[in-house]
Amino acid sequence: MARGGIDMTKGPLFGKMIAFALPLMASGILQLLFNAADTAVVGRFTGQHALAAVGSNGPLINMIVTLFMGLSVGANVLTAQYLGSGRLSDLRETVHTAVVSSLMFGLILVALGFILARPMLNLMGSPEDVIDLAELYLKIYFLGMPVLMIYNYGSAILRAVGDTRRPLIFMMISGVINVGLNLLLVIVFKMGVAGVAIATVASEAVSAFLVMRCLIVSDGPWHFSWKEARITWSKLGRMTRIGLPAGFQGASFAISNMLIQSSINSFESIAMAGNAAAANIEGFCYVGMDSFSQTAISFAGQNYGAREYKRIDRILLYALILGTSTGVFFGGIAYLFSENLLSIFSTDPEVIKIGVLRMGIICLTQFTSIWMGVPSNVCRAMGRSLFPMINIIGCVCVFRVVWILTVFTVDRSLPILYLSYPISWILAAAIGIGYYLFVRRRVRKKDARLHAAEKET
């Protein structure tokens, strides 16, 4: 195995999964610190309207970005499968297809961001005192989509081969740049939301450059060469079949969160600010858990390629145990110190009060979301991506729409609105675990038939 890679198909799993997940967790936390730094600097030095403008953009950005970012899941799965099965020529084609397509999709997102910014903010019901600032932030943010896409696709390739350490180093470097530019542009040059958006784009460009350099100088089969930079359409087709459902799944989360954000917007800017601050803190809890869900997809992908199916069962079990433990710990700590954490974003007592209310419901139940994420990702690593998407859309997006139109209509309160989160997670988890058990039986029966055919020949 070349420098930076891990053979996930042999040896103990538990220690390797922890070693793989910890840098991934730290990278996710650092990426969230970008957004938290944006929000905190704006909230403390510009005001609650700017804070609401930056925070209310989150669901809209996630909806558009995750649809395209889902294809990076396809790149991760294909890279892991080809590495596990030793199909190195296919692996090289996948790497080059992923990088070129990420740049292409990033340019498409620039256009979509500029065209859809104002209409989507109007659709979400952004108040008049917020919408102009929100539109400005959104347009600048989307200018950075090409570099954001390149970084995420490149990181997906590195994760598939077992390298999570160097993306962490790259994120640390760009994180320092982001914080420094935030302070300079907002406090010194008084640029407000434009300043934090520019800082984010600049720091993402640095991390994208470092990831690409890593792929270019690599001595492994995942080496990238500009001379070979082209799209292999059969690989893009497979990436799309695996990744696009994952993108729709991520977009379904964002759509449901947009609907919830629209409902929150009806409570005016104080509620928007408190909700945005709490959501930033909850994000740290989520990425801690989700690092084990992302670990599961890389480990399961390599073992599926190597036809080591019994190890996949253990991968799912270990990911659930580690993810749940992380969620319970982080969620409990976040709620215990909720007032102190929220005061980083705002000193307004009403903003803090609303943030504590949200965190009391979501932080203490957020660990159940890992039960939904891990089985879906393991099925995706085995090439079954459509049903997990249908399950998530039904149990998360559709359920929350129904909840808003029925239960929330009867009792228009924030606690009732926030309860839709844990209920939808548990519903999706129950169905997702059942589907994994079904897929596992199908895969083993198919493999038994292949073994029998090989013996006959």
Per-residue DSSP letters for 142-166? Answer: HHTHHHHHHHHHHHHHHHHTT--HH
Give the residue from 231, 221, 279, 232 showing the smallest Cα distance to 61.
Answer: 279
- What is the pLDDT, as a whole number, of residue 89? 93
What pLDDT shows up at residue 315? 96
The C-alpha atoms of residue 162 and residue 218 are separated, in whole angstroms, by 13
pLDDT score for 374: 95
Work out the number of other CB atoms within 10 angstroms of the CB of residue 253. Answer: 20
The residue type found at 358 is R
The rounded distance, in Å, linking the Cα atoms of 431 and 372 is 8
- Are 34 and 175 in contact by the 8 Å Cβ rule? The answer is yes
- At 380 the three-state DSSP class reads helix
395-452 confidence digits (pLDDT tens) = 888 898 899 889 988 988 888 989 999 999 999 999 999 999 999 888 877 777 766 6
DSSP state of 125: T
Rounded to whole angstroms, the Cα distance separating 309 from 99 reads 30
pLDDT tens track, the chain, 457 positions: 445 567 788 989 999 999 999 998 888 787 777 666 666 777 777 777 777 777 667 667 767 777 777 778 899 999 999 999 899 999 999 999 999 999 999 999 899 888 888 898 887 777 788 888 889 988 999 999 999 999 989 999 999 998 988 988 998 898 889 889 988 998 888 888 889 889 989 999 999 999 999 999 998 899 999 999 999 999 999 999 988 888 887 777 767 777 777 777 777 677 878 888 888 788 888 889 999 999 999 999 999 998 898 899 999 999 999 999 999 999 999 999 999 999 887 888 888 998 999 999 999 999 999 999 999 999 999 989 899 989 988 988 889 889 988 998 898 888 898 999 999 999 999 999 999 999 988 887 777 776 666 666 5
What is the domain partition of the chain in residue ranges? 14-448
User: What is the spatial distance between Cα 135 and Cα 383, in angstroms, rounded to a whole number?
Assistant: 38
Three-class SS string for 226-277?
HHHCCCCHHHHHHHHHHHHHHHHHHHHHHHHHHHHHHHHHCCHHHHHHHHHH
Residues 371, 426: Cα–Cα separation, whole Å: 8
Residue 144 and residue 108 in contact, taking contact as beta carbons nearer than 8 Å: no
Q: Which residues have CB under 8 Å from 25's CB, separation 6+? A: 287, 288, 291, 326
Q: Residue 163 — φ and ψ, nearest 5°?
A: -105, 105
Give CA–CA dist 177/409, Å, rounded. Answer: 45
Distances (CA, A) of 187 to 46, 192, 200: 9, 8, 15
What is the Cα 262 distance to its own chain's centre? 22
247, 270, 223: which is closest to 92 by C-alpha?
A: 223
Structure tokens at 358: 């949200």
| HSE (side-chain half, CA atoms, 13 Å) at 274 | 23
Distances (CA, A) of 43 to 61, 190, 228, 280, 303: 19, 13, 46, 13, 46
Cα 34 to Cα 192: distance, rounded to the nearest angstrom: 15
Sign of CA dihedral 349, 350, 353, 358: negative
Token duo for residue 22:
């910890």
Note the pLDDT of residue 274. Answer: 85
